[in-house]
């Protein structure tokens, strides 16, 4: 975390939310510094319950990529083995990367597909039965 928090108010009004404030600070720092721009990605809302994260990964193969979910953090990383090819111009980046997405507790990762240079991670919102609205019959 930075020495000075970017979020000052209402931070002092909340107790026990340090992890959340730290994540917000990190997100704001990364978006302002533009340090987290590779690989390019889309977050697509397909319906109220389904989403996709799309990453443009031309030059990578399925074996170069890792998708992990741990404690609500979806981490997508990639590392391409160096080849002995001599490039006269290399405009397609295959550098090592790690991209993280914080998921809500009710979001589950359905699957991940890699096709035509695009990694697509499908997500579903699954609200537990105990948290769904309950209609009370009036007698």
DSSP track, 47-65: SSSEEEEEEE-TT--GGGE
Label residue 132 left, alpha or beta by phi (over 0 means left) and psi (-120 to 50 means alpha): beta
Q: Which pLDDT value is given to residue 65?
A: 97
Q: What is the band of 17 on the pLDDT scale with cuts at 50, 70, 90?
A: low
State yes or no: pLDDT of 35 exceeds 70: no
Contacts of 133 (CB under 8 A, 6+ apart): none
Q: Which pLDDT value is given to residue 78?
A: 96
- To 5 degrees, how large is the angle CA 45–CA 46–CA 51? 55
- To 5 degrees, how large is the angle CA 19–CA 24–CA 27? 125
Q: Which pLDDT value is given to residue 22?
A: 72
Place of tokens 């319906």: 47
State yes or no: pLDDT of 4 exceeds 60: no
Q: Which pLDDT value is given to residue 130?
A: 79
* Distance between CA atoms of residues 88 and 85, nearest Å: 10
Q: Which pLDDT value is given to residue 26?
A: 67
Query: What are 37-87's pLDDT values in tens digits?
Result: 889 999 999 999 999 999 999 999 999 999 999 988 999 999 998 788 898
The CB-side HSE value for 96 (13 A sphere, CA atoms) comes to 3
Query: What are 80-124's pLDDT values in tens digits?
Result: 987 888 989 989 888 999 999 989 888 999 999 999 999 999 999
The CB-side HSE value for 138 (13 A sphere, CA atoms) comes to 0
């Amino acid at each position: 975390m930075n020495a000075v928090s970017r979020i000052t108010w209402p931070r002092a009004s909340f107790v026990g939310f340090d992890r959340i404030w730290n994540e917000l600070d990190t997100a704001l720092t990364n978006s302002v510094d533009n340090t987290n721009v590779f690989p390019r990605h889309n977050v697509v809302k397909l319906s109220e319950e389904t989403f996709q994260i799309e990453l443009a990964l031309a030059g990578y193969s399925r074996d170069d990529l890792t998708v992990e979910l741990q404690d609500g953090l979806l981490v997508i990383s990639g590392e391409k083995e160096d080849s002995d090819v001599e490039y006269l111009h290399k405009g397609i980046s295959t550098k090592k990367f790690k991209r993280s997405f914080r998921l809500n507790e009710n979001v589950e990762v359905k699957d991940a597909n890699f096709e035509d240079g695009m990694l697509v991670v499908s997500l579903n919102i699954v609200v537990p039965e105990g948290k769904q609205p309950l209609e009370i019959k009036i007698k």
